[in-house]
């Protein structure tokens, strides 16, 4: 049997549909600053965050993923028998053995489809991207049977009270993959970086809270960004004789621990670009930034003078190419594995469809520990009807955000305390008010004495953006 050639691969493999779920409750970061007795602007200006979504004890990683998958399948009228691979990326672990994917299989029972590959991928915030890459490989392999792949990225990000708590969030994104897609994953140029480091990790399985070395984590993030960008450029040059810079992309989308770091990350790519220019080219394009050409990347992670220059020099690029992708991150917080894909959705809803066609997007995914990757997506003009369906599927995102319930910081704090106390408790009957959930949301009904979890679905549909 001969090896398959590149010409036999399915064409334009990429994203056919997207769906996002986020909690119906949020806490205002300005009010949280007052409640936490910190200086005004510490969370809103310093972190770049306005609101933070959170879950009561009625929601867990299983319920988030059940909700987002059901919504995507219903909204796009996808038969469950059409899915041949289902993989979940998450770091929110409820069981050391049973995958979230296996829980999602109850949605497939009526269809009778049990012939589905995939389980869960876990490495901090990178699991969703690992699931995406694995599913792309399946679609382009001899194992592909003509059906579609479904990737789910979901997490509940919570921290102990203190400086890190405002960087929490929660959500889930479902990504439908297949051939002839409007959002094509560019082949042959993605780059990765992986090393062993303890910047953020969760060794205590009895707690939802991570151990975090904040400064080390920022250094790891920026270092990984440098490495991935350099390798991405090398691959584009060697494979396609293409010289890559920020000018190559209409949008640049990052994993967002908090929005201010993303702004600094775009500036970091700008620094990488400037270092490749001659002194004369810098003088003409960016007068006053000539000193950046001699910056040593490894020595500049916390150099305030360099940071000030690159933030100023890249401000226009950031406003145009990255800030639109931070809409959800600013309003929800860090969703962990769905974060970069929430950024993709935010970018897509920021423009009319006609302005999206022909766009090329650069995406950077980072997971502590660490694993990081950079890749690109091309929005093709060949599948305009599919693009219309994809965009219409996420068109209600702004309305859903605006329909959420604002919760006082004191109640938010009590909710976090409750989650802390009942984490892994069995038997347990949740006490959160299900009336506050969006229509169509799956929620936890009970945990029995054997730690088995039972879920129910609130009647109605989430698509109309209403809670009740």
Q: What positions carry a catalytic annotation? A: 91, 125, 255
**3-state SS assignment for residue 359:** coil
Tokens for 385, please give them. Answer: 């009807």
Would you call 300 exposed, middle or buried from its count of C-beta atoms within 10 A (0-12, 13-18, 19+)?
A: middle
Q: d(Cα 395, Cα 356) in Å, to the nearest integer?
A: 14
- Identify each DSSP E strand in 334-409 by its residue range: 360-367, 371-379, 405-406
- Write the CB contacts of 434 (distance below 8 Å, at least 6 apart in sequence): 58, 443, 458
- Phi, psi angle pair for 74, to nearest 5°: -70, -45
Q: How many Cα atoms sit within 13 Å of 1 on the Cβ side?
A: 2
Buried b (16+ CB within 10 A) or exposed e, 388-419: ebbbebbebbbebbebbeebebeebbebbeeb
Instruction: List all residues 6 or more positions away from 140 whose beta carbon is below 8 Å from its beta carbon.
Output: 9, 10, 13
What are the C-alpha distances in Å from 354 to residues 253, 256, 384, 390? 20, 27, 10, 13
In whole angstroms, what is the distance from residue 102 CA to residue 129 CA?
Answer: 19
Give how far the C-alpha of residue 245 lies from the chain's centroid of Cα atoms, to the nearest Å: 23
The whole-angstrom separation of Cα 314 and Cα 74 is 42
């Amino acid at each position: 049997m001969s090896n398959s050639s590149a010409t036999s691969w399915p064409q334009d493999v990429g994203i056919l549909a997207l769906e996002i779920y986020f909690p119906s409750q949020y806490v205002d970061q300005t009010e949280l600053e007052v409640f936490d007795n910190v200086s005004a602007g510490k969370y809103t200006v310093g972190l770049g965050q306005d609101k933070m979504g959170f879950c009561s004890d009625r929601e867990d990683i299983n319920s988030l993923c059940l909700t987002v998958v059901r919504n995507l399948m219903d909204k796009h009228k996808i038969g469950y028998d059409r899915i041949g691979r289902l993989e979940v990326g998450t770091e929110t672990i409820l069981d050391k053995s049973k995958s979230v994917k296996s829980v999602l299989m109850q949605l497939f029972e009526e269809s009778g489809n049990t012939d589905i590959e995939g389980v869960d991928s876990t490495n901090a915030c990178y699991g969703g991207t690992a699931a995406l890459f694995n599913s792309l490989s399946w679609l382009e392999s001899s194992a592909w049977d003509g059906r579609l792949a479904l990737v789910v990225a979901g997490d509940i990000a919570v921290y102990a009270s203190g400086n890190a708590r405002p960087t929490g969030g929660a959500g889930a994104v479902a990504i439908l993959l297949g051939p002839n897609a409007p959002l094509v994953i560019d082949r042959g140029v993605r780059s990765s970086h992986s090393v062993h480091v303890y910047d953020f990790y969760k060794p205590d399985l009895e707690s939802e809270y991570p151990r975090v070395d904040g400064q080390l984590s920022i250094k790891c993030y920026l270092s990984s960004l440098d490495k991935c960008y350099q390798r991405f450029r090398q691959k584009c040059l060697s494979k396609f004789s293409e010289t890559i810079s920020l000018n190559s992309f209409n949008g640049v989308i990052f994993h967002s621990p908090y929005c201010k770091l993303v702004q600094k990350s775009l500036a970091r790519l700008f620094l990488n670009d400037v270092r490749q220019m001659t002194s004369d080219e810098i003088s003409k394009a960016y007068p006053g930034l000539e000193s950046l050409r001699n910056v040593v990347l490894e020595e500049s992670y916390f150099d305030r003078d360099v940071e000030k220059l690159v933030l100023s020099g890249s401000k226009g690029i950031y406003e145009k190419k990255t800030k639109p992708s931070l809409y959800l991150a600013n309003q929800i917080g860090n969703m962990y594995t769905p974060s970069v894909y929430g950024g993709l959705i935010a970018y897509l809803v920021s423009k009319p469809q006609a302005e999206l066609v022909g766009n090329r997007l650069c995406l950077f995914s980072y997971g502590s520990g660490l694993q990081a990757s950079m890749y690109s997506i091309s929005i093709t003009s060949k599948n305009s009807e599919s693009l219309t369906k994809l965009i219409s599927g996420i068109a209600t995102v702004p309305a859903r955000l605006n329909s959420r319930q604002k919760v006082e910081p004191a109640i938010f704090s009590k909710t976090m305390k409750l989650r802390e106390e009942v984490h892994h408790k069995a038997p347990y009957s949740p006490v959160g008010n299900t009336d506050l959930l969006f229509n169509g949301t799956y929620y936890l009904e009970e945990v029995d004495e054997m730690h088995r979890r039972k879920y129910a679905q609130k009647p109605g549909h989430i698509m109309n953006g209403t809670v009740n």
